[in-house]
A and B are shown apart, each in its own frame.
Chain A
Amino acid sequence: MRYLVSVIDDKSNPGSTDRQPAISAFNERLIAEGYWVFAGGLASPDTATVIDNRGEQAVFSDGPFVESKEYLAGVWVWEAPDLDVALKLAAEASKVCDRKIEVRPFQ
Chain B
Amino acid sequence: MSDVEEAITRAHHEEWARVIAALTRRFGDLDIAEEAAAEAFATAVQRWPADGVPPNPGAWLTTTANRKAIDRIRRENKRDDKHKEAQMVYADDPPEPLGAIDDDRLRLVFTCCHPALAMQTRVALTLRMVGGLTVPEIARAFLAAESAMGQRITRAKAKIKAARIPYRVPAAEDLPARVTGVLAVLYLVFNEGYLATGPDTDPVRHDLTAEAIRLTSLIRALLPQDGEVAGLLALMLLTEARRTARISASGELVALDEQDRGAWDAALIAEGHRLVRERLAAAAAGVAPGRYQILAAINAVHTSARDIRDTDWSQVIALYDQLVRLDPSPIIALNRAIAVAELDGPEVALAIVDRLAEALAGYHAYHATRADLLRRLGQSQQSRAAYDRAIELAGNTGETAYLTRRRDQLQ
B72 at the interface (CB under 8 A from A): no
Q: Are A81 and B89 in contact (CB under 8 A)?
A: yes
Cα distance, A84 to B175, chains bound together (Å): 12
Taking CB atoms and an 8 Å cut-off, the chain A residues in 62-92 that contact chain B are 81-84, 87
Q: Are A84 and B162 in contact (CB under 8 A)?
A: no
Q: Are B164 and A105 in contact (CB under 8 A)?
A: yes
Chain A residue contacts of B283, Cβ below 8 A: none
Chain B residue contacts of A83, Cβ below 8 A: 114, 116, 163-166
Across the interface, name the chain B residue whose C-beta is closest to A105.
Answer: B163
Cα distance, A82 to B87, chains bound together (Å): 11
Chain A residue contacts of B203, Cβ below 8 A: none
Chain B residue contacts of A42, Cβ below 8 A: none
Contacts A83-B116, A84-B170, A87-B116: A105 and B162 contacting too (C-beta < 8 A)? yes
B378 CB to nearest A CB, Å: 50
| Interface 0/1 of B157-190, CB less than 8 Å to A | 0000011111000100010000000000000000
A34 CB to nearest B CB, Å: 16
Q: Are B162 and A82 in contact (CB under 8 A)?
A: no
Give the A interface residue count (CB, 8 A). 10
Cα distance, A55 to B35, chains bound together (Å): 45
Across the interface, name the chain A residue whose C-beta is closest to B178.
Answer: A84
Q: Are A82 and B116 in contact (CB under 8 A)?
A: no
A53 at the interface (CB under 8 A from B): no
Contacts A81-B89, A82-B89: A1 and B116 contacting too (C-beta < 8 A)? no
Cα distance, A39 to B162, chains bound together (Å): 22
Cα distance, A24 to B172, chains bound together (Å): 30
Cα distance, A84 to B171, chains bound together (Å): 10
Cα distance, A81 to B87, chains bound together (Å): 12
Chain B residue contacts of A107, Cβ below 8 A: 162
Cα distance, A105 to B159, chains bound together (Å): 9
Chain A residue contacts of B115, Cβ below 8 A: 87
Across the interface, name the chain B residue whose C-beta is closest to A107.
Answer: B162
Across the interface, name the chain A residue whose C-beta is closest to B89.
Answer: A82
A66 CB to nearest B CB, Å: 23
Chain B residue contacts of A105, Cβ below 8 A: 162-164
Chain B residue contacts of A82, Cβ below 8 A: 89, 164-166
Chain B residue contacts of A87, Cβ below 8 A: 115-116
Chain A residue contacts of B166, Cβ below 8 A: 82-84
Cα distance, A78 to B89, chains bound together (Å): 17
Cα distance, A60 to B274, chains bound together (Å): 73
| Interface 0/1 of A91-107, CB less than 8 Å to B | 00000000000011101
B308 CB to nearest A CB, Å: 48
Cα distance, A77 to B131, chains bound together (Å): 37
Cα distance, A82 to B160, chains bound together (Å): 10
| Among A84, A87, A103, A104: residue with most chain B CB under 10 A | A84
Cα distance, A105 to B116, chains bound together (Å): 13
Cα distance, A105 to B313, chains bound together (Å): 54
Chain B residue contacts of A104, Cβ below 8 A: 163
Cα distance, A48 to B190, chains bound together (Å): 51
Cα distance, A107 to B166, chains bound together (Å): 17
Cα distance, A1 to B86, chains bound together (Å): 9
A102 CB to nearest B CB, Å: 12
Cα distance, A54 to B71, chains bound together (Å): 44
Chain A residue contacts of B163, Cβ below 8 A: 83, 103-105
Cα distance, A96 to B164, chains bound together (Å): 25
Cα distance, A107 to B164, chains bound together (Å): 11
Cα distance, A84 to B115, chains bound together (Å): 10
Across the interface, name the chain A residue whose C-beta is closest to B160.
Answer: A83
A103 CB to nearest B CB, Å: 8
| Among B162, B163, B166: residue with most chain A CB under 10 A | B163
| Among A1, A82, A103, A104: residue with most chain B CB under 10 A | A82
B145 CB to nearest A CB, Å: 28
A61 CB to nearest B CB, Å: 32
| Among A81, A83, A87: residue with most chain B CB under 10 A | A83
Cα distance, A105 to B162, chains bound together (Å): 7
Cα distance, A105 to B163, chains bound together (Å): 5
Identify the B interface with A (CB < 8 A).
89, 114-116, 162-166, 170, 174
Contacts beyond the supplied A87-B115, A107-B162: 20 A-B pairs with Cβ under 8 Å: A1-B164, A81-B89, A81-B164, A82-B89, A82-B164, A82-B165, A82-B166, A83-B114, A83-B116, A83-B163, A83-B164, A83-B166, A84-B166, A84-B174, A87-B116, A103-B163, A104-B163, A105-B162, A105-B163, A105-B164
Can you report 5 A-B residue pairs in the complex whose CB atoms are below 8 A from each other? A81-B89, A82-B89, A83-B164, A84-B170, A103-B163
